[in-house]
Amino acid sequence: GSAGQSEQTAVRPQLAKEKIEGCHICTFVTPGEPQVVLGKDKAFTFDYVFDMDSQQDSIYSNCTEKLIEGCFEGYNATIFAYGQTGSGKTYTMGTGFDVNITDEGLGIIPRAVSHLFRGIEERRQAATEQGRPVPEFKINAQFLELYNEEVLDLFDSTRDMEARKQKSNVKIHEDANGGIYTVGVTTRTVSSEAEMMQCLRLGALSRTTASTQMNVQSSRSHAIFTIHLCQVRVCASDNDTETDNRLVNGSSEMNEFETLTAKFHFVDLAGSERLKRTGATGDRAKEGISINCGLLALGNVISALGDRSKRSTHVPYRDSKLTRLLQDSLGGNSQTVMIACISPSDRDFMETLNTLKYANRARNIKNKVMVNQDRASQQISALRTEIARLQMELMEYKTGKRMVGEDGLESINDMVHENSMLQTENNNLRVRVKAMQETIDAQRARLTQLLSDQVNQTLARAGDGNEEIGNMIQNYIKEIEELRAKLLESEAVNETLRKNLSRASTRSSFYGPTSITPGHLAPKKDATEIIEIAKKDLEKLKKKKKKKKKSDHDEGEEAEGDEEEDEMEVDSSDESDSEEEKEDFQADLANITCEIAIKQRLIDELENSQRRLHTLKQQYEQKLMMLQSKIRDTQLERDRVLQNMGSVESCTEEKAKKIKSEYEKKLNSMNKELQKLQSAQKEHARLLKNQSQYEKQLRKLQQEVTEMKKTKVVLMKQMKEQQEKNRVTETRRNREIATLKKDHRKQEHQLRQLEAQKRQQELILRRRAEEITALRRQVRPASGKVNCKISLPEPLQESSPRMAPIRPQTTGATAPNGTRKHQMRTGGLYSTRTARAKWQSLERRISDIIMQRITLSNMETDMNRLLKQREELTKRREKVLRKRDKIASEDTDADRTVLSLTEEMESLTANIDYINDSIADCQANIMQMEEAKEEGDTVDVSAVISSCTLSEARVLLDHFLLMAINKGLQTARKESQIKVMEGHLKQTEINSATQNQLLFHMLKEKAELNPELDALLGNALQGLTHINFCCFCVSCSCLASDVMKLCGETKARNKARRRTTTQMELLYANSGDPDAPPEDFSAPLLPVVESPEGHKEPAPVPYLGDRDSVAFSSSLASKSNAVGVTSPAQAARSSRAARLQCVHVAKGHTKPLLCVDSTDDLLFTGSKDRTCKVWNLVTGQEIMSLGDHPSSVVSVQYCSSLVFTVSTAYIKVWDIRDSAKCIRTLTSSGQVSQGDTCGSSSVAIPPGENQINQIALNPSGTFLYAASGNTVRMWDLKRFVSTGKLTGNLGLVTCLMVDLAGKGQDVVITGSKDHTVKMFDVVEGTQGSISATHHFDPSHQDGLEALAIHGEKLFTAARDSCIKKWDFICKQLQEQVERAHSDLLSSLAVVPGSSAVMSGCKGGLLKFWHTDTLRALGEIRGHDSSVNDICTNNNQLFTASDDRTVKIWQVKGSLEDGIH
Q: What is the mean pLDDT of each run of 10 residues along the chain (1460 residues)?
A: 61 71 75 79 81 80 85 87 80 69 78 90 89 88 85 76 62 79 86 86 71 51 87 67 44 66 86 57 67 80 70 75 82 83 82 83 75 72 85 82 73 79 90 89 86 82 72 81 82 84 67 44 45 57 48 44 41 44 68 74 74 80 84 82 68 77 86 85 82 83 87 88 90 92 91 90 87 77 40 38 40 40 48 82 84 84 86 86 82 74 84 84 80 64 77 86 90 90 89 83 73 66 43 40 39 40 46 39 35 38 35 32 64 61 91 94 93 89 88 92 92 83 90 82 77 92 92 92 92 92 86 93 87 91 92 91 90 91 92 90 93 90 93 92 93 78
* Side chain identity at residue 3, one-letter code: A
pLDDT score, position 145: 86
Closest CA to 482 of 546, 560, 572: 546
pLDDT score, position 649: 54
pLDDT score, position 1163: 93
pLDDT score, position 1204: 95
- CA–CA separation, 500 and 598 (whole Å): 15
Find residue 138's DSSP bridge partners: 230
Q: What pairing do the DSSP bridges indicate for beta strands 1195-1199 and 1202-1207?
A: antiparallel
- CA–CA separation, 1327 and 1284 (whole Å): 5
Residue list, annotated binding site for ATP: 83-90
Closest CA to 273 of 319, 212, 338: 212
- CA–CA separation, 376 and 397 (whole Å): 31
65-72 and 108-129 helices, crossing angle to 10°: 40
Q: What pairing do the DSSP bridges indicate for beta strands 402-404 and 366-368?
A: unpaired
Over its C-alpha atoms, the chain yields an Rg (Å, rounded) of 54
Residue list, annotated binding site: 83-90
pLDDT score, position 1381: 92
- CA–CA separation, 1196 and 1155 (whole Å): 6
* Side chain identity at residue 935, one-letter code: E
pLDDT score, position 162: 55
- Phi, psi values for residue 894, rounded to 5°: -100, 45
pLDDT score, position 1347: 94
pTM of the model: 0.42
- Tell me the longest C-alpha to C-alpha distance in the chain: 203
* Side chain identity at residue 1122, one-letter code: A
- Burial class (CB within 10 angstroms; exposed 0-12, middle 13-18, buried 19+) of 213: middle
pLDDT score, position 1263: 92
* Side chain identity at residue 88, one-letter code: G
DSSP 740: H
- CA–CA separation, 343 and 1219 (whole Å): 46
* Side chain identity at residue 77, one-letter code: A
pLDDT score, position 494: 85
- CA–CA separation, 676 and 624 (whole Å): 11
525-542 and 653-779 helices, crossing angle to 10°: 80
Q: What pairing do the DSSP bridges indicate for beta strands 1221-1227 and 1140-1147?
A: unpaired
Residue 1188: which residues within 8 A CB-CB, separation 6 or more? 1170, 1222, 1236, 1239, 1240
pLDDT score, position 1333: 92
- Phi, psi values for residue 580, rounded to 5°: -70, 165
Please state whether 148 falls in left (phi above 0), alpha (psi between -120 and 50) or beta: left
| Cβ 143 vs Cβ 155: under 8 Å | yes
Query: How far out from the chain centre does Cα 1329 lie?
Result: 31
- CA–CA separation, 1154 and 1164 (whole Å): 11
Residue 786: which residues within 8 A CB-CB, separation 6 or more? none
pLDDT score, position 276: 52
